[in-house]
Amino acid sequence: MIPFATETCHRSRPRTPDAGLRTITLLALATAALTAADTSRGQTVFTTYCAACHGPEGAGLVGPNLTDTVFLHGDKKADIVRVLMNGVGDKGMPAWGAILPPADVDAVADFTVAMIGKNLKSPFAPGESSVTPFPKGSVAFPLLLRTFMPTLGTDAAVFAHHDHGKIIAKYSPDKGGDVKGEQKPIDGVPSAIVVTFGDGLSYCFDTVECRLLYTWSGPFMDMTHYWGAAAGGGRKSFGYVPEVIGPVWWRTSGADPMQVVGATAAKPQFTGYRKVKSVPELQWRVGETKLTLTITPGAKPGEAVCRYTTTGAAKGLVFTLPADSAGQIASDKGTRAGTTLTLSAAEAAQFTLTISPGDKPVIEAPKAKPKDDKKAKPEPVVKE
């Protein structure tokens, strides 16, 4: 295709009725055949190279809808040619300038311009769904969810068996190296189990420390940061840390509270869980000692009844209860002296700690109330 003909074809494609009237000229009529040929080439190129991401009609698949009027990088032909030539690396749009001959880029740019404003709906556009980022459980059907979680200010001494992210130099992907500034680790635990029994009780158990981190009541969690809004999809924040919604009634602190008498201190190893009448029994091992923990709701909102079993603690257990919340914890067995609870081997085989809510929550409301997830504005998608 000769450059003159290409340029002429662009001018002859009306974007508005007025423009169309102005361009009905002898020249346009004379080049009508070329216009058709150009469109055909543009369509061929689009079908071959673009349709996989933008859909056969340009209505969008993984790539954006090209038939609406929202163009992040400009809707003029020159803008589209620039994007075609250079690509948008972070969004997965290739630099077609390195792949297609200029005439094909030109033709497909024309083809794209012509589809703007058709406002076609993607064949796979989400329909109505009851999926939400607000999972729910109940006493009859408690929900177990494994996820990243916030520490909610839990004492750093609790995380003795974790390694710790450090502040590092900020990295620029554009420059391919470090730039001025630094990147800090964010608050979180990477391998948590959370369980909710509905509004009465939810808890967060850490599978690295193998201990209960905190309990709360109310409407559980907002998973939008991790799952996206109701329609699912793109990332919603730099971190993927869910938000706890209700008041937090208890939060642990201090070093590992549980010591097996006569055993060398060992790193706990989470081994799994089983469901007993839908309620999770968490299981782990410390050296040769096997432990289980089953947590159920107590009589009051936020009250957690923690039933432990141990196997292999031949000389019993010593619990050092968290100093700042020992008053909230009662045991059905053992000998209590201040914050120290001593259990014989027989007592340690099965005992129950009841964690009561204090006079006021440790945290009133980490997240005040759920937002209307269906109205949540999607954030830009990052393809990596």
Positions 146 through 205 that interact with another protein (CB under 8 A): 146-148, 151, 159, 162-166, 168-169, 171, 173, 176, 178, 183, 185-191
80, 74 in Cβ contact below 8 A?
yes
- Residue choice 121, 267, 315, 374 for contact with another protein (CB under 8 A): 121
Nearer to another protein, 112 or 151 (CB): 151
Sign of the dihedral through C-alpha 223, 224, 228, 234 = negative
Nearer to another protein, 12 or 251 (CB): 251
- Owner of token pair 């201040």: 338
Nearer to another protein, 238 or 372 (CB): 238
With binding defined as CB under 8 A, does residue 266 bind another protein? Answer: no
| # chain residues binding another protein, by CB under 8 A | 93
- Residue choice 103, 314, 365, 381 for contact with another protein (CB under 8 A): 381
One-character DSSP codes across 265-305? P---EEEEEEEETTEEEEEEEETTEEEEEEEEE-SSTT-EE
Long-range contact list for 266-269, CB < 8 A, 24+ apart? 267/161, 268/161, 268/208, 268/209, 268/210, 268/211, 269/210
235, 382 in Cβ contact below 8 A?
yes
Instruction: Give dist(CA 302, CA 310) in Å, integer.
Output: 25
- Residue choice 245, 279, 313, 355 for contact with another protein (CB under 8 A): 279
Instruction: Give dist(CA 63, CA 54) in Å, integer.
Output: 5
Nearer to another protein, 97 or 340 (CB): 97
- Residue choice 42, 63, 298, 316 for contact with another protein (CB under 8 A): 63
Here the tokens at position 259 are 């010591």
State which of positions 295-324 bind another protein (CB under 8 A): none
State which of positions 209-248 bind another protein (CB under 8 A): 223, 226-228, 231-235, 238-241
Nearer to another protein, 7 or 90 (CB): 90
142, 195 in Cβ contact below 8 A?
yes
Nearest to 222 by CA among 237, 207, 212, 206: 237
With binding defined as CB under 8 A, does residue 384 bind another protein? Answer: yes
With binding defined as CB under 8 A, does residue 95 bind another protein? Answer: yes
What's the closest the beta carbon of residue 77 comes to another protein, in angstroms? 21
251, 310 in Cβ contact below 8 A?
no
Nearer to another protein, 289 or 331 (CB): 289
Nearer to another protein, 32 or 186 (CB): 186
Nearer to another protein, 23 or 122 (CB): 122
Instruction: Give dist(CA 266, CA 172) in Å, integer.
Output: 41
Burial of 272: CB neighbours in 10 Å, binned 0-12, 13-18, 19+: exposed
- Other CB atoms within a 10 A radius of the CB of residue 173 amount to 9
| Contact window for another protein (CB under 8 A) among 1-9, 59-67, 249-257, 351-359 | 59-67
State which of positions 330-359 bind another protein (CB under 8 A): none
| Contact window for another protein (CB under 8 A) among 144-152, 247-255, 332-340, 351-359 | 144-152
- Residue choice 12, 13, 55, 212 for contact with another protein (CB under 8 A): 55
Nearest to 209 by CA among 187, 223, 193: 193
Nearer to another protein, 24 or 72 (CB): 72
215, 201 in Cβ contact below 8 A?
yes
Nearer to another protein, 165 or 358 (CB): 165
- Residue choice 46, 96, 216, 250 for contact with another protein (CB under 8 A): 96
With binding defined as CB under 8 A, does residue 57 bind another protein? Answer: yes
Helix (H) or strand (E) holding 41: helix 32-45
Here the tokens at position 124 are 């796979």
| Contact window for another protein (CB under 8 A) among 6-14, 132-140, 309-317, 355-363 | 132-140
What's the closest the beta carbon of residue 143 comes to another protein, in angstroms? 7
Measured distance between the N- and C-terminal CA atoms of the chain, rounded to whole angstroms: 37
With binding defined as CB under 8 A, does residue 70 bind another protein? Answer: no
- Residue choice 2, 180, 277, 359 for contact with another protein (CB under 8 A): 277
